[in-house]
């Protein structure tokens, strides 16, 4: 096993510059529960008594209305849901819309991606327009690929911009916006949300509070740091990078995969775990994964009759998706969880989690070490060391380059040559990890986030140096498999920004 010292602070990223121009498409599968939930929500503005208990919006006349009493005009009444089938031992929170009001981040990123794809939106209202589109019931909380498909149909985007490219580009832009410090995340935490998480940690034990989000790890980490919550989720944190399948596609909500992993990390009985969600797709994912109780939260800041009607509609959609009850705020949902917690839940076993088994743990460490050795080899300008990390044939996907994610192949020797071409152009390059290499839940894919700086000061690939600064960043994921008794990189997927040298090579 390679020493972790190779993963120390400064490395050089793997880059490549050949020109390809194919396209990539794939089919999207919509979870049945999402279709059923949205259909039910559209047919009836509310959900009345079901076998899951009295969970409806109610007025003083036991009718479903947007207002309650004359002295509370404009306020939506939510009945307290009945106690859960069994005492609670763990709570898993969604992040965006549940703990933090970060919905504006996605429109910012999508607006930029649409601009790059040639979509012309109303001047000065680009972000607002995108926010309106992605906040509709069918889109709220959806994966980037589903939103990208919707954008293509809605705006008639050119076929040269596939849904896959749009989704990957959106992720790259979102990470860049947050990691660069361009967005202040500290005010985003909903009032009382952080305190609610801490109260639950005291009631359930730190290992009884987890996080399950479809967002990217750098954004999640920055958000938690901004709220002083980096150590608050001892029951485990599941992010987008943890749920990629063998083909390299994220298995996001409404698929059950994120919550299945979250339950495994927490190690507490699924029927005794609560999920707290603000979206239909999130509720569907938790229900499909077998979470015992799913609570919906609204966290709406508006007041008045219009806001009450919006609350009723949102609550009805969450209930139709399978929520046990709906609360105005996350803090209120947390209080309900505390009131229904098992007396000894703070003392229950935390479990080992899926990555702590001996063989899998060892395999993950081996693969992470190979990725570290790869970066260290470039840093050392050691062509042979770089090549030794790859299988004889490697599949490459550059999601943000002119190939637009089309698969192409290279040999191990090619990888060494291409990396050295980049280093030759930027002899003073310095690269650091925003996130060091980490294996996913199955131990197949390894992720890392990086940024690099330096100067285009050397001649390479026939281009004379222009002395421009190097300031790029990106994310790379590696698929590793055993070859002749050693772990080798067999696939590499990159989405990133580009140096001036690379732009010249690509004719940009």
- pLDDT per residue as tens digits for the range 251-284: 889 999 999 999 988 888 899 999 999 999 999 9
Q: Is the pLDDT of residue 442 over 90?
A: no
Q: Which two tokens stand for residue 407?
A: 């698969």
- Residue 281 is predicted with a pLDDT of 93
- Residue 398 is predicted with a pLDDT of 84
Q: Is the pLDDT of residue 29 over 80?
A: no
Q: Is the pLDDT of residue 20 over 90?
A: no
CATH class of 60-102+186-347: alpha beta
Output 363 or 485, whichever has higher pLDDT: 485
- Residue 78 is predicted with a pLDDT of 62
What's the pLDDT band for 472 if we cut at 50, 70, 90? confident
The segment(s) of the chain belonging to CATH 3.10.450.50 are: 4-26+357-505
Distances (CA, A) of 241 to 115, 116, 202, 449: 26, 25, 29, 11
- Cα 211 from Cα 91, distance rounded (Å): 9
Residue positions counted in the chain: 508
Fold of domain 4-26+357-505: Nuclear Transport Factor 2; Chain: A, (3.10.450)
CA proximity to 293, closest of 279, 274, 321, 280? 274
Distances (CA, A) of 210 to 215, 233, 236, 318, 481: 15, 5, 5, 21, 31
Q: Is the pLDDT of residue 354 over 80?
A: no
Q: What's the whole-number mean pLDDT along residues 178-194?
A: 80
What's the pLDDT band for 351 if we cut at 50, 70, 90? very low
Cβ-count burial 14-35 (b if 16+ within 10 Å, e if not)? bbbbeeeeeeeeeeeeebebbe
Q: What's the whole-number mean pLDDT along residues 428-447?
A: 80
- Cα 97 from Cα 182, distance rounded (Å): 20
Q: Read off the pTM.
A: 0.57
What's the pLDDT band for 73 if we cut at 50, 70, 90? very low
What's the pLDDT band for 42 if we cut at 50, 70, 90? very low
Mean pLDDT of the chain: 77
- Pick the range with the lowest mean pLDDT from 109-123, 172-186, 322-336: 172-186
Residue 207 φ/ψ, nearest 5 degrees = -75, -5
State yes or no: cis peptide before 287, omega within 30 of 0: no
The segment(s) of the chain belonging to CATH 3.40.50.1000 are: 60-102+186-347
């Amino acid at each position: 096993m390679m020493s972790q010292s190779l993963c120390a602070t400064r490395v050089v990223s793997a880059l490549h510059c050949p020109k390809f121009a194919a396209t990539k498409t794939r089919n999207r599968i919509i979870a049945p529960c999402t279709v059923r939930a949205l259909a039910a929500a559209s047919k009836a503005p509310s959900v009345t008594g079901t076998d899951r208990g009295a969970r409806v919006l109610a007025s003083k006349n036991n009718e479903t209305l947007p207002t309650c009493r004359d002295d509370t005009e404009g306020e939506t009444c939510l009945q307290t849901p009945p106690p859960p089938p069994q005492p609670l031992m763990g709570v898993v929170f969604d992040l965006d819309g549940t703990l933090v009001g970060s919905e504006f981040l996605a429109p910012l990123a999508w607006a930029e991606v649409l601009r790059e794809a040639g979509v012309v939106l109303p001047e000065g209202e680009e972000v607002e327009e995108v926010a309106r589109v992605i906040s509709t019931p069918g889109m709220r909380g959806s994966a980037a690929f589903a939103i990208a498909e919707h954008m293509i149909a809605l705006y008639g985007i050119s076929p040269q911009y596939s849904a896959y490219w749009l989704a990957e580009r959106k992720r790259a832009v979102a990470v860049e916006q947050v990691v660069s410090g361009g967005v202040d995340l500290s005010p985003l935490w909903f009032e009382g949300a952080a305190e609610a998480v801490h109260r639950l940690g005291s009631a359930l034990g730190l290992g009884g509070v987890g996080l399950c989000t479809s967002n990217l790890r750098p954004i999640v980490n920055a958000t938690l740091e901004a709220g002083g919550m980096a150590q608050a989720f001892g029951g485990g944190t599941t992010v987008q990078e943890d749920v990629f399948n063998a083909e390299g596609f994220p298995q996001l909500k409404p698929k059950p995969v994120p919550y299945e992993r979250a339950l495994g990390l927490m190690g507490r009985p699924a029927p005794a775990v609560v999920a707290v969600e603000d979206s239909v797709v999130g509720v569907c994912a938790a229900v499909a994964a077998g979470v015992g109780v799913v609570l919906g939260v609204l966290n709406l800041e508006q007041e008045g009759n219009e806001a009450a009607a919006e609350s009723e509609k949102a609550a009805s959609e969450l209930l139709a998706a399978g929520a046990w009850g709906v609360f105005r705020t996350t803090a209120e949902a947390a209080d309900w969880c505390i009131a229904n917690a098992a007396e000894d839940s703070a003392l229950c076993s935390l479990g080992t989690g899926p990555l702590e088994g001996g063989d899998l743990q060892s395999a993950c460490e081996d693969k992470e070490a190979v990725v570290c050795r790869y970066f260290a080899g470039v840093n050392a300008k050691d062509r042979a060391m770089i090549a030794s990390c790859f299988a004889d044939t490697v599949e490459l996907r550059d999601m943000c380059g002119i190939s637009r994610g089309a698969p192409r192949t290279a040999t191990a020797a090619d990888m060494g040559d291409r990396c050295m071409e980049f280093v030759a152009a930027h002899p003073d390059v310095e690269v650091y990890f925003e996130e060091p290499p980490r294996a996913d839940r199955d131990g197949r894919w390894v992720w890392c986030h990086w940024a690099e700086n330096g100067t285009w000061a050397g001649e390479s690939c026939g281009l004379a140096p222009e002395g421009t600064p190097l300031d790029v960043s990106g994310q790379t994921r590696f698929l590793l498999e055993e070859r002749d008794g050693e772990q080798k990189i067999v696939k590499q997927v990159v989405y990133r920004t580009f140096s001036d040298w690379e732009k010249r090579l690509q004719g940009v």
